[in-house]
Amino acid sequence: MPLPALLPASVPALVHAEAQAADANLELALRVLPALAVILLAAALCGRLATLVMQPRVVGEMVAGVLLGPTLLGALFPDAQAALFPAEVRPVLYVLSTLGLTLYMFLVGAGMDHDAREPGELRKASVLAASGILSPLVLGGAAGLVLWDSLSRPDVGRVEFALFLGGALSLTAFPMLARILYERGLQNSRIGRIALLAASIDDAVAWCLLAALSAVHLGGGTGDTLRTIALAAVFAAVMLGVVAPLLRPLGRRVARTGSLGAGAVYVIVLVPLTAGWITDAIGVYSVFGGFVAGLAMPREPAFRAALHGRMMDVVSTLLLPVFFAFSGLNTHLGGIAGGSALLMFALILALAFSGKYFGCSLATRALGFGWRESWAMGAMMNARGLMILIFINIGLAQGMITQELFAMLVLVAVLTTAGALPLYKLALPERLERADARKTGSAAPVGAAAGETGFI
């Protein structure tokens, strides 16, 4: 008897279905790979162009994401954009961008150093952080109250909208600020240590605010909201009070050997992914879990250096450009071309800039620094970089903001980040940097080209 006759009738159908599924998966892969190639090529090209005009690479990568969206590619070549980013590809890009953001925020949290080295340093950093949070939070919140009728979704309350806008404007691009200081040899200077401490406090507070807003928005009721907030607080307490001590031997071992073994890498990657899954289940976006997981990592400098050296290049080169492109696909700048929309954008941009720049500058001056150092501090703290993009993408995904406000805040991110380094150099020329580095004994090279930093 022939072999097919011996098989149940359902077996050929099952084989055929599996073959069709395999073909569909292959077809999806063949659609995703060209999209990834175009995204990486655009990010590399725009990043390189940004460095040629003395801007950080991230400014170019942010612009690349916008150009791949409906603003340029979709307007000039709609068929090409539809072929590159069809509907079935976008969920894959979303998954990759979420994975990249979770790991990136994990690295940001792991890189934060809250240890003061001199008496009074933590107090000064707290004063600077408070000014960096309160000024833009108040100004942005006031703008949110005024613009609620024009820019908010109907299901978002006026206070919630105002807090979200103020929280977005209060962020500082902590990794970018750190990279400026390290590349210019000022990480151990007075201004450098206080800036790093203040920026880390700023961002931690902003992410906690976003977690609370997400809980309120998605909770569905007062009881659910309080439950979500309580579970998020318990999660953070367990991570910092239980998981962190368990990871300390790993930090000591890496500090002793100077490298991360294969087993250590498995543990390190598993912790933020599990934390992100838990916070998503709680009702708070996964990047919050990644950030808290980073805070729970060992604090040894050797461990942090090994961690960043092993993971940051992959995350920032492969996964973050996908996030920029996904953000760009949601950015419709044509929606803010009208007169009233431009006036609202100009108001938000002016408040975003002045709140951080003047608030931090005046606070730094009140702490006893010179005017040049104070203006330099304001310029650094005013950069928002990738952090605000993560913040507003969460808001858009969870239905807290409109596409119009999202587009405005993308432009705020690009413009404030692009203005940071020129304003910093104007306030603190290289000769004054060298003098400050000599006084503090910093040995890192001063005046490294911005094009070589690649900071976020």
User: CB of 296 within 8 A of CB of 239?
Assistant: yes
Q: What is the percent of the chain where pLDDT is above 90?
A: 21
Q: Quickly state the pLDDT bin for 46 (edges 50, 70, 90).
A: very high
Q: How far apart are CA 375 and CA 424, in angstroms?
A: 7
Mean model confidence pLDDT for the chain = 81
What is the pLDDT at residue 192? 77
Is 325 contained in some domain?
yes
Q: Return all residues near 338 (Cβ < 8 A) that are at least 6 apart.
A: none
**294 and 108 Cβ atoms separated by less than 8 Å:** yes
Res. 105: pLDDT tops 90: no
CATH code of residue 183? 1.20.1530.20
Q: Is residue 48 part of a domain?
A: no
- Let me know: does 451 contact 391? Beta carbons within 8 Å: no
Indicate if the pLDDT at residue 203 is higher than 70: yes
First to last CA, the chain: 68
Tell me, yes or no, whether 13 lies in a domain. no
- The more confidently predicted of residues 9 and 111 is 111
Flag whether 299 is in a domain: yes
Averaged pLDDT, 43-58: 87
- The arithmetic mean of pLDDT across residues 72-77, rounded, is 86
pLDDT at 125 over 80: yes
Angstrom distance (rounded) from CA 405 to CA 151: 6
Give the pLDDT of residue 4.
Answer: 52
At residue 162, the pLDDT reads: 92
Greatest mean pLDDT range, 8-17, 350-359, 398-407: 350-359
pLDDT at 454 over 50: no
Domain-embedded: residue 306: yes
**Which of 96-105, 183-192, 415-424 bottoms out in mean pLDDT, i.e. has the lowest?**
183-192
Q: What is the pLDDT of residue 117?
A: 60
Residue 380, pLDDT above cutoff 80: yes
pLDDT exceeds 50 at position 206: yes
Give the structural domain span for 292: 93-452
Would the pLDDT of 436 be above 50?
Answer: yes
Digit-coded pLDDT (tens) for 302-350 = 888 888 888 888 888 888 888 888 888 888 777 676 778 899 999 999 9
Least confident of 140-154, 222-236, 296-310, 417-431: 222-236
If one compares 415 and 8, the residue with the highest pLDDT of the two is: 415
The answer to whether 70 touches 334, Cβ cutoff 8 Å, is: yes
CA distance 190 to 200: 16
Gap between the Cα atoms of 314 and 292, Å rounded: 21
pLDDT of residue 15: 52
Least confident stretch, 211-225, 265-279, 386-400: 211-225
The answer on pLDDT for 452 being more than 50 is no
Please say if the pLDDT value at position 446 is more than 50: no
Residue 145 lies in a domain: yes
Residue 437: pLDDT band by 50, 70, 90 thresholds? low
Q: Is residue 33 part of a domain?
A: no
What average pLDDT score do residues 344-362 get? 93
* 66 belongs to a structural domain: no
Residue 193 vs residue 136, higher pLDDT: 136
pLDDT > 70: what percent of the chain?
Answer: 83
User: How does residue 21 score in pLDDT terms, banded at 50, 70 and 90?
Assistant: low
* Number of domains composing the chain: 1
